[in-house]
Structure 1
Amino acid sequence: MSKVKVVACSGIGKVFGLMTREAVLEVTNHLVPDKAETVCLAHVVTGDKAGSEKVKGCTCITVDGCPALCSAKSVENAGGIVKASFRSVDEMRNHRGVNAGTATALTEDGWQIIDEFAEKIAAKVNELAEEE
């Protein structure tokens, strides 16, 4: 069985990008490493053969920071099958007024949000892994 590919946006300069990367790393390194792995979005975007081949025809979850959906669009363009898409900006709507941090560092509250966000993504990984 192939692992579910979980691809984070590369959002630089905003806390939302940092949140996507940290949540994906929590999912793939700690919560469900036996069922999920991450793929570098930069390799997918630039058309790197190895990066594109990692997602082509595979079940993918994308995690974007903003409404531009760079990860989701790029994975789809590379032939990945996006079965679920998450956005950290949506996750922050559940935590209005909370300071999650900056583009380079999360606050304690930010890390708590990441834990919740990662749990949601991991639950989707488990669901998709059971389907295959």
Structure 2
Amino acid sequence: REVRDTKIEDTVTHYHELYDRAKKMKEKPPPERERFIQKTRYSEFPALIAKLRENEGNKRAAKAATKIENALPDMFRGVRDPDIPLDNNHAERLLRKVVVHRKLWGCIRNEKGKRFVSNTLSCMETWKLKDKNVFQELQKFAS
């Protein structure tokens, strides 16, 4: 293996360690959580991004660095507010239904139709989560 790949693996491992520490921080008192956020956001994450950017020519590393950089403002919202999960697994599971339905209804061929179906199914799932009557909400939506 190349040294470059090992550096990226080390960076990914560090990222996972930060995530594990963030999960533990959710249980701590607010001042301690805030100190963790400040240290991690302004010290550890910039170092992590710099490591990824060191890998010149590696487009995946550069893309990962950009994604982390763009996500930084919202990355610690789940640490500040313990009611917010740190992952999006719940949302991903809900969206999976939408993707399956869209694929089953293969008759939707253009982008506008795909967006319409995705948005409609997304609204329906949201209404279900909020314990609203989907049929009544669709009627409001259609009128």
Alignment TM-score > 0.5, same fold: no
Which structure has the larger Rg over C-alpha atoms? 2
Relative to its length, the structure with more strand (as a share) is 1
Calculate the TM-score normalised by the size of structure 2. 0.25
Between the two structures, name the one with larger relative contact order (CA 8 Å, sep ≥ 6): 1
Higher-helix-fraction structure: 2
Scaled by the length of structure 1, the TM-score of the pair is 0.27
